[in-house]
């Protein structure tokens, strides 16, 4: 039984600043302070974000929306960003990234989890996470943001790519964004149209918002589109700005279409699956140096640095393994890396790189 209510625990969080300063200077041990704080309320911590599950709601055949109440340590979170959610399964601590679909002023945050074939943590959370369960989260991260100055916004989402898009859309409409907004959501089956009822309600409420679905695995009905993303679906779009989120292949197609002609507006693309290895590309041997581990290995220019470091016996921090959460970020010391999502090359010493979506383009050394 907590000694203080959660509302008071949340109010206490800003007042812990002096203790944080002492812990930062190593005059206090954070773990010991956390031990006493947790005795007051199980969510209370000096810096770490803990949350309690308050509601579960199915929003598609394979997607569950979850509402958590977080302690007072969630700093500057906004819809469209993603957070790491941690749970220990069978003695192993696992973490996965999920997008925030809503951030409320009273400490409630919402996210949605899609059931995944073989998704160890996601499926366990979907099936077994009970109301009242406490979970640990990382701080929110992510650059996606609503293009406030846009003359019109095109939103393209595939599968669970709908979650960051919905978060930003909800907020923008509620805050009075009046330029035209069109959302196309790509799913295999009609039952996967996550948040369909809410999106249709938004379209009725806000005349500047239109939503359509494209179904690739069933015959279309009414005004549904059919198949995967194709230029015909967006040929007549007059939007100035684009936001797209989905698996790597989907985002690549969208990028090709958008870049095929010069445009003035902004484009934001987020892929939540790793780029597949290009097996057609000839294997090129490179030297990989790990500065802090003081070791080297023979590397392959086709594969990401996270997998190669792990194969070498290192244990780099990581989360999503998809280039989204930034948990695997480390610094380039020398050499050139290639971003597997875009093909862009980076050779600036000190450049932060995400190991899970970066491949060596030359001999290189990273700060690992
Ligand atoms: S593990 Fe998430 S960005 Fe690399």
* Ligand 1 centre distance from Cα of residue 368 (Å): 15
Neighbours of 47 (CB within 10 A): 16
* Ligand 1 centre distance from Cα of residue 317 (Å): 9
Say how far apart CA 47 and CA 17 lie, in whole Å.
Answer: 10
Report residue 209 as tokens: 């918002």
Report whether pLDDT(324) > 80: no
Mean pLDDT, the chain, integer: 92
- The closest-lying atom of ligand 1 relative to the alpha carbon of residue 354 is 4
Comparing 90-99, 129-138, 196-205, 258-267, the range with the smallest average pLDDT is 90-99
Report whether pLDDT(191) > 90: yes
CB 256 within 8 A of CB 281: no
pLDDT for res 244 = 97
Which residues lie across from 350 on neighbouring strands?
Answer: none
Instruction: Kindly report, residue by residue over 55-87, the tens digit of the pLDDT.
Output: 999 999 999 999 999 999 998 999 999 998 988
Report residue 254 as tokens: 């969208």
In which band, very low, low, confident or very high, does the pLDDT at 48 lie, cut at 50, 70 and 90? very high
CB 263 within 8 A of CB 150: no
Report whether pLDDT(340) > 90: no
- The closest-lying atom of ligand 1 relative to the alpha carbon of residue 317 is 1
Count of residues in the chain: 368
pLDDT for res 9 = 86
pLDDT for res 15 = 87
Question: Pairing relation of β-strands 153-158 and 241-246?
Answer: parallel
Say how far apart CA 68 and CA 337 lie, in whole Å.
Answer: 38
Measure Cα distances from 37 to 29, 71, 307 in Å. Answer: 13, 12, 38
**Is 6-137 in CATH node 2.40.30.10?**
yes
CB 365 within 8 A of CB 334: yes
User: Tokens 């969080």 label which residue?
Assistant: 13
pLDDT for res 55 = 98
Instruction: Kindly report, residue by residue over 180-190, the tens digit of the pLDDT.
Output: 999 999 999 99
Measure Cα distances from 258 to 45, 57, 157, 340 in Å. Answer: 45, 35, 15, 19
What's the CATH superfamily of 285-366? Beta-grasp domain (3.10.20.30)
Which mutation among 99, 319, 341 tests ligand 1's pocket best, with the greatest number of atoms within 8 A of CB?
Answer: 319
Class of domain 153-271: alpha beta
Instruction: Kindly report, residue by residue over 278-287, the tens digit of the pLDDT.
Output: 767 788 899 9
In which band, very low, low, confident or very high, does the pLDDT at 41 lie, cut at 50, 70 and 90? very high
- The closest-lying atom of ligand 1 relative to the alpha carbon of residue 356 is 4
Q: Which of 61, 63, 64 has the alpha carbon at shortest distance from 53? A: 64
Coil/strand/helix, residue 205? helix
pLDDT for res 235 = 87
Please state the domain extents for the chain: 6-137, 153-271, 285-366
Q: Sign of the C-alpha dihedral, residues 47, 48, 49, 51?
A: negative
Backbone dihedral angles phi then psi of residue 105, each to the nearest 5 degrees: -70, -15
In which band, very low, low, confident or very high, does the pLDDT at 165 lie, cut at 50, 70 and 90? very high
Which residues lie across from 99 on neighbouring strands?
Answer: 82
pLDDT for res 99 = 95
Ligand 1: which residues within 6 Å by Cβ? Answer: 318-321, 323-328, 354, 356
Backbone dihedral angles phi then psi of residue 248, each to the nearest 5 degrees: -55, -45
Q: State the first-to-last Cα distance of the chain, in angstroms, to the nearest integer.
A: 43
User: Tokens 């190991």 label which residue?
Assistant: 355
Report whether pLDDT(347) > 80: yes
Report residue 307 as tokens: 């997998």
* Ligand 1 centre distance from Cα of residue 329 (Å): 7
Task: Pick 266 or 323 by higher pLDDT.
Answer: 266
In which band, very low, low, confident or very high, does the pLDDT at 163 lie, cut at 50, 70 and 90? very high
Report whether pLDDT(233) > 90: yes
Question: Pairing relation of β-strands 329-334 and 295-300?
Answer: unpaired
pLDDT for res 274 = 67
Say how far apart CA 15 and CA 184 lie, in whole Å.
Answer: 45
- Please report, rounded to a whole number, the percentage of residues in the chain having pLDDT higher than 90: 72
CB 218 within 8 A of CB 190: yes
pLDDT for res 90 = 78
Q: How far, rounded to the nearest angstrom, does the alpha carbon of residue 234 sit from its chain's CA centroid?
A: 25
CB 240 within 8 A of CB 264: yes
Instruction: Kindly report, residue by residue over 239-280, the tens digit of the pLDDT.
Output: 999 999 999 889 999 999 999 988 889 999 998 776 667 767
In which band, very low, low, confident or very high, does the pLDDT at 94 lie, cut at 50, 70 and 90? confident
Query: Which helix (H) or strand (E) segment is 253 a member of?
Result: helix 248-259
* Ligand 1 centre distance from Cα of residue 202 (Å): 33
- The closest-lying atom of ligand 1 relative to the alpha carbon of residue 306 is 4
Coil/strand/helix, residue 98? strand
């Amino acid at each position: 039984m907590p000694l203080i209510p959660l509302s008071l625990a949340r109010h206490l969080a800003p007042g812990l600043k002096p203790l944080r300063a002492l812990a930062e200077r190593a005059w206090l041990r954070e773990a010991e302070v956390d031990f006493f704080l947790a005795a007051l309320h199980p969510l209370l911590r000096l810096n770490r974000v803990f949350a309690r599950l308050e509601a579960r709601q199915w929003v598609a055949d394979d997607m569950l929306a979850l509402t958590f109440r977080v302690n007072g340590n969630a700093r500057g979170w906004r819809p469209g960003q993603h957070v790491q959610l941690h749970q220990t399964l069978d003695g192993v601590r696992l973490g996965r990234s999920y997008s925030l679909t809503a951030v409320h002023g009273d400490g409630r945050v919402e996210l949605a989890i899609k059931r995944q074939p073989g998704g160890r943590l996601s499926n366990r959370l979907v099936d077994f996470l009970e109301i009242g369960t406490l979970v640990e989260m990382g701080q929110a991260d992510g650059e996606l943001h609503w293009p406030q100055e846009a003359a019109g916004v095109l939103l393209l989402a595939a599968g669970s790519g709908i979650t960051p898009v919905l978060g930003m859309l909800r907020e923008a409409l509620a805050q009075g964004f009046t330029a035209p907004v069109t959302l196309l959501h790509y799913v295999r089956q009609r039952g996967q149209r996550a948040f369909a009822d809410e999106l249709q309600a938004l379209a009725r409420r806000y005349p500047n918002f239109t939503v359509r679905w494209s179904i690739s695995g069933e015959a279309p009905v009414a005004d549904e589109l059919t198949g995967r993303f194709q230029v015909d679906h967006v040929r007549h779009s007059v939007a100035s700005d684009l936001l797209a989120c989905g698996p790597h292949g989907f985002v690549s197609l969208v990028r090709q279409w958008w870049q095929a002609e010069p445009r003035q507006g902004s484009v934001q693309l987020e892929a939540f699956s790793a780029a597949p290895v290009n097996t057609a590309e000839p294997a090129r041997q490179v030297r990989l140096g790990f500065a802090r581990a003081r070791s080297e290995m023979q590397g392959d220019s086709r594969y990401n640095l996270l997998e190669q470091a792990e194969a070498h016996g290192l244990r780099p921090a990581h989360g999503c393994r998809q280039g989204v959460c930034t948990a695997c970020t480390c610094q380039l010391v020398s050499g050139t890396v290639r971003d597997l999502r875009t093909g862009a090359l980076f050779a600036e010493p000190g450049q932060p790189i995400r190991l899970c979506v970066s491949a060596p383009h030359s001999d290189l050394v990273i700060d690992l």
